[in-house]
Amino acid sequence: MGFPAAMTGYRSSSQLYTLPMLNLPLIEAVPNFSEGRNEEVISRIKGAFELPGVKVLDVHVDADHNRSVFTVVGTPRQVEEALVDAIGVAVELIDVSKHEGVHPRIGAADVVPLIPLKNIDVGEVVRIAKRIGKKVNRRYGLPVYFYGEAGSRELPSFRNVGFERLKELIRTEEYRPDIGEEIHPTAGAVAIGVRDFLVAYNFLLDTDDLNVGREIARRLRGSTGFLKRVRVLAFMLESRGKVQISMNITDVHRISLYEIRKTVEAVASRFGVRVLEGELVGLMPGFFADETLSGFLSMGGASGPMTVEGAMSEKFSELENILGALGSRLPKAGGGMAGGVALAMGVALIRKVAVLSRTDVDIRELDGYLYEALELANRDMACFEELMKAYRGDNQDLLRERLEVCVRESFEMASLPLKLMPAVEKLITEGNKNLISDVGIGLELLRSGFNAARYNILINLKGVDDAEYRSRVLKEFRQLEEKMIFYYETYTSRIAMEL
């Protein structure tokens, strides 16, 4: 696209709008690996998450705990694949039989919690957790414990015994894994769970007396003290010469960090101990980080986003999610969705030329088509899901109904490009000649969306036994296709003459 030295006099649209998002599923994973000192190992693990549609939002490394906590978001199937690979790297490079660190652990890839973020239910995330468990057991020989929504146990009930004790207890009824029988000699075991948001937060105390720290922790933790639904441990940090109170806040909807901070300060003061600073481990959900956060808490030198939402807006784009979904095993993200996205890009490019040209092309009308294209992408995904349910249900009447719905949706997708042709005609004739190539590219994208609809109509018609229905649909579609071919060939020829 070429721009002249000056483009004064061209009109622009003052309308500010937010495009709807595609209804793609998104999950978060917060895997904890038993390595916080070897940068090469941590880097190798991080490299396993470099897949399309997957983004590492944060890595919290702690040498005293000898532990790294990754915060990862992405398309469910891609996150699943990346987690299996990352666990494999941990199995290869981390020997927990020689591990030294204050944090309890049972394995190299110690704990792998999954959290549904949007457009996915807990049941599907549980199925993902189960698949990960089966794969890591089969590939790496790891015994697997499921916890939270994925199992019947709570994480502390088996993780806090540690690797050494688990070697002795793994064959007992209480500590028998959900998958596998023997502990891996160097990689231990892995805990895989599904849960809601959890916030991990540490407080550094101005004392080197671990017994005092443990008593403070006892009076704080939910099972024995003031802070319900908060897990609390005390550790001695050799690097600081101070005691650390380490917390997992398991119900972030009923308590704030400000309340927790005040409670910790009150309990510690009874022992003549001050709270020196606080430290967020990983990220927290946005609703938990209220306006008073920075005023009341010391965040321990946080240099980047502290919330999942903030990190996502900075590091993870909708485009990455779309491409990750298209390239993954996610069934509903297929050609129809890609066709809708192609249409949306085509409309957007036509819109760009319109706002930079002296024409009376209706920008608001183009905006409506842009929304319609993205909605068609969402409807195609929903249609495919309903079609798959009908196939699994083996109900022929329902299947026929679903196939016809999908055909109608594809007809709407094929019809949308034709609505743009008056605008394309006007922009070729009257539009900014420096942007004529963009009109051509926009036309190509509209044609791609049309062809996506064509392919989906043809494949769905194969599933319909009614020959009369198939014939009628194909006849109607040929009428659309003839128009599209006419416009496409006419306009591309005219654009070529301008170039």
* Tens of pLDDT, residues 92-132: 999 999 999 999 999 999 999 999 999 999 999 999 999 99
CA distance 289 to 428: 51
Mean pLDDT of 271-290: 86
Q: pLDDT at position 302, please?
A: 56
Q: What is the DSSP letter of 166?
A: H
Does residue 2 register a pLDDT over 60?
A: no
More confident residue, 418 or 294: 418
Compute the mean pLDDT over every residue in the chain, rounded to the nearest whole number.
89
Q: In what order do the strands lie in the sheet with 275-281?
A: 230-237, 242-249, 199-205, 275-281
Q: pLDDT at position 106, please?
A: 96
Q: What is the DSSP letter of 15?
A: -
Mean pLDDT of 312-319: 81
Mean pLDDT of 58-84: 95
Give the least confident one: 173-187, 287-301, 406-420. Answer: 287-301
Q: pLDDT tens across 470-495, in order?
A: 999 999 999 999 999 999 999 999 99
CA distance 419 to 260: 58
Q: pLDDT at position 151, please?
A: 94
Residue 360 has, within 13 A of its CA and on its CB side, a CA count of: 0
CA distance 448 to 450: 5
Give the confidence band of 301 by pLDDT, cuts at 50, 70, 90.
Answer: low
Q: pLDDT at position 316, please?
A: 81
Q: Residue 277's beta-bridge partner residues? A: 204
Does residue 3 register a pLDDT over 80?
A: no
99 labelled catalytic: no
- Beta carbons within 8 Å of 168's beta carbon, 6+ residues apart: none
- Under a CB-based contact definition with an 8 Å cutoff, are residues 263 and 255 in contact? no
Mean pLDDT of 176-183: 95
Mean pLDDT of 27-41: 96
> What is the residue type of 165?
R
Q: pLDDT at position 31, please?
A: 97
* Summary count for the chain: helices (H), strands (E): 15, 11
Mean pLDDT of 172-181: 94
Does residue 251 register a pLDDT over 90?
A: no
N-to-C CA span, the chain = 12
> In sequence order, what E strands does 92-171 have?
109-118, 144-148
CA distance 368 to 22: 16
- Under a CB-based contact definition with an 8 Å cutoff, are residues 352 and 424 in contact? no
CA distance 293 to 115: 23
Give the confidence band of 290 by pLDDT, cuts at 50, 70, 90.
Answer: low
> Which superfamily does CATH assign the domain made up of 19-195 to?
Formiminotransferase, N-terminal subdomain (3.30.990.10)
Q: Residue 243's beta-bridge partner residues? A: 205, 236
Give the least confident one: 313-317, 335-339, 345-349. Answer: 313-317
Instruction: Name the nearest CA neighbour of 117 among 21, 236, 230, 245.
Output: 21
Query: Which pairing describes strands 144-148 and 190-194: parallel, antiparallel, or unpaired?
Result: parallel
CA distance 127 to 31: 17
Mean pLDDT of 37-49: 96
Q: What are phi and psi of 37, to 5 degrees?
A: -125, -30
Q: What are phi and psi of 267, to 5 degrees?
A: -65, -45
Q: pLDDT tens across 364-412, in order?
A: 999 999 999 999 999 999 999 998 888 888 788 898 999 999 999 999 9
Does residue 246 register a pLDDT over 80?
A: yes
- Under a CB-based contact definition with an 8 Å cutoff, are residues 124 and 76 in contact? yes
Total-model pTM: 0.81
The 3-state DSSP class for residue 455 equals helix
Domain 198-283 has CATH 2.60.40.10: no
CA angle 277, 280, 144 (to 5 degrees): 135
Task: Please state, for a pLDDT cut of 70, what percent of the chain lies above it.
Answer: 93
Give the confidence band of 335 by pLDDT, cuts at 50, 70, 90.
Answer: very high
Mean pLDDT of 281-294: 70
Q: How far lies 472's CA from each of 80, 185, 407, in Å?
A: 44, 66, 12
- Selecting among 60, 65, 99, 103, the annotated active-site residue is 103
The 3-state DSSP class for residue 425 equals helix
CA distance 279 to 295: 14
Does residue 208 register a pLDDT over 50?
A: yes
Q: pLDDT at position 65, please?
A: 94
CA distance 3 to 12: 15
Q: pLDDT at position 19, please?
A: 57
Q: pLDDT at position 9, please?
A: 36
Task: State the Rg of the chain over Cα.
Answer: 28
> What is the residue type of 281?
V
Does residue 427 register a pLDDT over 90?
A: yes
Mean pLDDT of 178-197: 96
In the chain, where the domains are located: 19-195, 198-283, 331-498
Q: How far lies 26's CA from each of 20, 121, 309, in Å?
A: 16, 10, 12
Task: Please state, for a pLDDT cut of 90, what percent of the chain lies above it.
Answer: 72
Does residue 464 register a pLDDT over 80?
A: yes
- Which residue reads 């999610």 in tokens? 321
- Beta carbons within 8 Å of 329's beta carbon, 6+ residues apart: 77
CATH of 331-498, one of 1.10.10.10, 3.20.20.80, 3.20.20.70, 1.20.120.680: 1.20.120.680
CA distance 320 to 53: 5
Q: pLDDT at position 18, please?
A: 52
Q: How far lies 204's CA from each of 64, 274, 299, 303, in Å?
A: 13, 9, 11, 19
Instruction: Name the nearest CA neighbour of 316 among 69, 21, 16.
Output: 21
Does residue 137 register a pLDDT over 60?
A: yes
- Under a CB-based contact definition with an 8 Å cutoff, are residues 141 and 218 in contact? no
Give the confidence band of 292 by pLDDT, cuts at 50, 70, 90.
Answer: very low
